[in-house]
Chains A and B, each alone.
Chain A
Amino acid sequence: DAGVIQSPRHEVTEMGQEVTLRCKPISGHNSLFWYRQTMMRGLELLIYFNNNVPIDDSGMPEDRFSAKMPNASFSTLKIQPSEPRDSAVYFCASSLAHRQAYSNQPQHFGDGTRLSIL
């Protein structure tokens, strides 16, 4: 079975440019999560979706960050304009959540996108 697929694996761009990260969750999973990993803050949840609907975006750093999930098999995380402090590894994860509860199921992670903003 294919796991969570993220693209690109690496992205290097200049400050001020728009960055779009992509994620394809595991087929049949109905919850999708975006995480960011930095040395200073470790792994932190940015936003998550259930059945394509954003449930909690309280972890999104600021208005420059936005995320969408137009269908069950695709999500994007966009940064516009990008800044050097956005440099990090961004992970996407998915899980199968029960109707009555979003939890109690393991999350499976993609390989991440290593983002460098110069």
Chain B
Amino acid sequence: GIQVEQSPPDLILQEGANSTLRCNFSDSVNNLQWFHQNPWGQLINLFYIPSGTKQNGRLSATTVATERYSLLYISSSQTTDSGVYFCAVERSSSNTGKLIFGQGTTLQVKP
């Protein structure tokens, strides 16, 4: 099956700092989503980005499908950004909607 690797596994930032989270995947994909799991356990959709670049406020994401990776940028981090960030993909040959999740990056933003 497709492998999804996220890095770094853990990240500690001072409030106001910028960061880049990475997601590598082992096969071509037709669906890639970034999620934020907040401290209450809720999974929040951040981006649906199988290719290209998108921005939403302080967050942006870029997926380079041909090179099989995606990046999530967090600028001017805030304590509310703390939590776990997941990348999830669906393999192109799957055509089933089945998402495979990475193990996540745990982010802690300190005041």
Q: Measuring CB to CB, which residues of chain A are less than 8 angstroms from any residue of chain B?
A: 31, 33, 42-45, 48, 50, 55-56, 89, 91, 95, 97, 101-109, 111-112, 114
**Residues B39-91 near A (CB distance < 8 A):** 41-43, 45, 48, 50, 86, 88, 90
Taking a contact as CB atoms closer than 8 A, the residue among B33, B96, B103, B104 that contacts A102 in the complex is: B96
Q: How far is the CB of B75 from chain A (nearest CB, A)?
A: 23
Given contacts A103-B30, A103-B97, contact A42 B104 (CB under 8 A): yes
Q: Which of B41, B48, B97 has the largest number of chain A CB atoms within 10 A?
A: B97
Interface size on B, residues (CB 8 A): 24
B45 contacts A108, C-beta separation under 8 Å: yes
- Chain B residues with CB under 8 Å of A112's CB are 41-43
Residues of A contacting B: mostly: strand
B35 contacts A103, C-beta separation under 8 Å: no
Q: Is B2 an interface residue (CB 8 A)?
A: no
Q: Which of B42, B86, B96, B100 has the largest number of chain A CB atoms within 10 A?
A: B96
Q: Number of A-B pairs whose CB atoms are under 8 Å? A: 61
B97 contacts A97, C-beta separation under 8 Å: yes
B33 contacts A106, C-beta separation under 8 Å: yes
Report the nearest A residue to B94, measured CB to CB.
A103
B98 contacts A45, C-beta separation under 8 Å: yes
Taking a contact as CB atoms closer than 8 A, the residue among A33, A42, A44, A111 that contacts B97 in the complex is: A33
- Chain A residues with CB under 8 Å of B104's CB are 42
A91 contacts B95, C-beta separation under 8 Å: no
Alpha-carbon distance A55/B95, docked complex (angstroms): 12
The 10 closest A-B pairs by CB, nearest first: A106-B48, A102-B97, A43-B101, A109-B43, A103-B97, A103-B90, A102-B96, A103-B31, A111-B42, A101-B95
A106 contacts B45, C-beta separation under 8 Å: yes
Q: Is B99 an interface residue (CB 8 A)?
A: yes
Alpha-carbon distance A73/B99, docked complex (angstroms): 22
Q: How far is the CB of B6 from chain A (nearest CB, A)?
A: 10
